[in-house]
Amino acid sequence: MGTIWKFRIPILDDFEIEMPRDAEFLMVGAQDLGAYLWARVVPERDKEVRKFKLRGTGHLVDLDCEHVGSFLIRGGALVYHLFEDNDKSSLR
């Protein structure tokens, strides 16, 4: 059995989020004044750091990234696309 957790998405090109291993992404969206990623997690699992890239429409994105979701902010004036960085060679 899992639990749904919410993770804040910083408005940065590249960032990391620590979450329980094997978290399943459910959706991304704006809430109040922030952007968030919702995931189903098993809280008791070991934590892992997952790497993300945030790109605006028309911006370049690496082909080894997997699309997680897209969301609107500022009343729809800006559209962002969240990708998980699957390039294992860049892991710390």
Q: What is the pLDDT of residues 13-22, one digit of tens each?
A: 999 999 999 9
Q: What is the mean pLDDT of residues 40-48?
A: 97
Helix (H, G, I), strand (E, B) or coil at 15: strand
Q: Residue 90 above 60 pLDDT?
A: no
Alpha-carbon distance 35 to 90, whole Å?
A: 25
Supply the pTM of this predicted model: 0.88
Q: Quote the pLDDT of residue 92.
A: 40
Helix (H, G, I), strand (E, B) or coil at 34: strand
Alpha-carbon distance 78 to 72, whole Å?
A: 6
Are the CB atoms for 37 and 82 separated by under 8 Å?
yes
